[in-house]
Structure 1
């Protein structure tokens, strides 16, 4: 049976930036909470779209041809294969929704590549 998930409680269980934490699964998709600050790496996901939902703070998603800035309570779907780089001037709390097993840095690989399937 499903349980009620409290986002605030889940965010309080970790401090790391750019390290997604799984809070739920639906079919083959995972819901992940992430604390972000500073710049991520340019990357893409060639086989899947990616959803960014800003829970708290401001997130800018840079694209090669422009930027999108999201405020708390807003979301954006990045189509598969589109290169992007998330940036947050100060700590921002987001939820991402993507298929299970997706690597956070896509095929780019970097020191920011996070371990998959860490649950909180």
Structure 2
């Protein structure tokens, strides 16, 4: 990841992020997480979130349903 991903949610799937390299910042409207290599977090379905690298680049593995739906949100509420 080299740039931010916009606010969005998935109505039909949880989304699990596993940190591989660098630090991935994952934000919900209530919390901010810094995912480091070897750590993981699951964002439940229907929870608005966005991701971005801390620094120039980060790598994460994302686990989700094969038929995941993505709904993009307005800017931060």
Give the Å deviation of 1:43.
Answer: 0.2
- Between Structure 1 and Structure 2, the one with more helix by share is 1
Structure with greater contact order relative to length (CA < 8 Å, sep ≥ 6)? 2
Q: How many residues end up aligned between the 2 structures?
A: 72
- Could you tell me how far 1:56 is from its partner in structure 2? 0.8
* TM-score computed with the length of structure 2 as normaliser: 0.84
Moved over 6 A (4+): none
| C-alpha separation in 1, matches of 2:35 and 2:65 | 22
**Structure 1 unaligned runs (5+)?**
1-35, 110-120
Bigger Cα Rg = 1
**So what's the TM-score if we normalise by structure 1?**
0.56
- Larger proportion of strand: 2
Does 2:27 correspond to 1:43? no
Instruction: Please give the per-residue CA displacement for 1:24-64, whole angstroms capped at 9, x wherever unaligned.
Output: xxxxxxxxxxxx12211000001110000011110010111
- Root mean square deviation of aligned Cα: 1.5
Following superposition, the deviation at residue 101 of structure 1 comes to 2.3
